[in-house]
Amino acid sequence: MRSVFFRSTIALAIVVMSPSAIAQNSATAPNNADLKARCDQLISMYDRYGASRSENSDGARNHTRIGAGIDCANGHAAEGITALEELLKDKKFEAPPPPTGVAQTPRQ
């Protein structure tokens, strides 16, 4: 039979390790709100800097941009983000890094 000290040590180790495992999983897997925010960030960057305002430009009517916006609105943000990053790369822009969440307020 194991001693009370041994069992309490195991219980304490589990309690101490649980929050770090939960925090690690939440930090590595972006949730849908994070992906939607990233999608909005890339769409606004493209609309501001990538869409030409010349007479012969498709501007905001770019079909890739429209499709990515629809993907983001319909819950397929990962596909929309990929399309927008490729679109910005094709326009010779470097996509901004995704926000890290370090300076953001905690969610409830």
User: Does residue 21 lie within any of the structural domains?
Assistant: no
Q: How many domains does the chain have?
A: 1
7-46 pLDDT, tens digit per residue, is 566 655 565 565 555 555 555 667 888 999 999 999 999 9
| pLDDT for the residue 65 | 92
User: Does residue 38 lie within any of the structural domains?
Assistant: yes
Contact 49, 93 (CB under 8 A): yes
User: Does residue 12 lie within any of the structural domains?
Assistant: no
User: Does residue 108 lie within any of the structural domains?
Assistant: no
User: Does residue 40 lie within any of the structural domains?
Assistant: yes
User: Does residue 98 lie within any of the structural domains?
Assistant: no
User: Does residue 67 lie within any of the structural domains?
Assistant: yes
- Residue 52 confidence class, pLDDT cut points 50, 70, 90: confident
Mean pLDDT of the chain: 78
User: Does residue 54 lie within any of the structural domains?
Assistant: no
| Domain carrying residue 84 | 32-48+61-90
Q: Tell which residue, 39, 47, 53, has the closest CA to residue 93.
A: 47
Record the pTM: 0.63
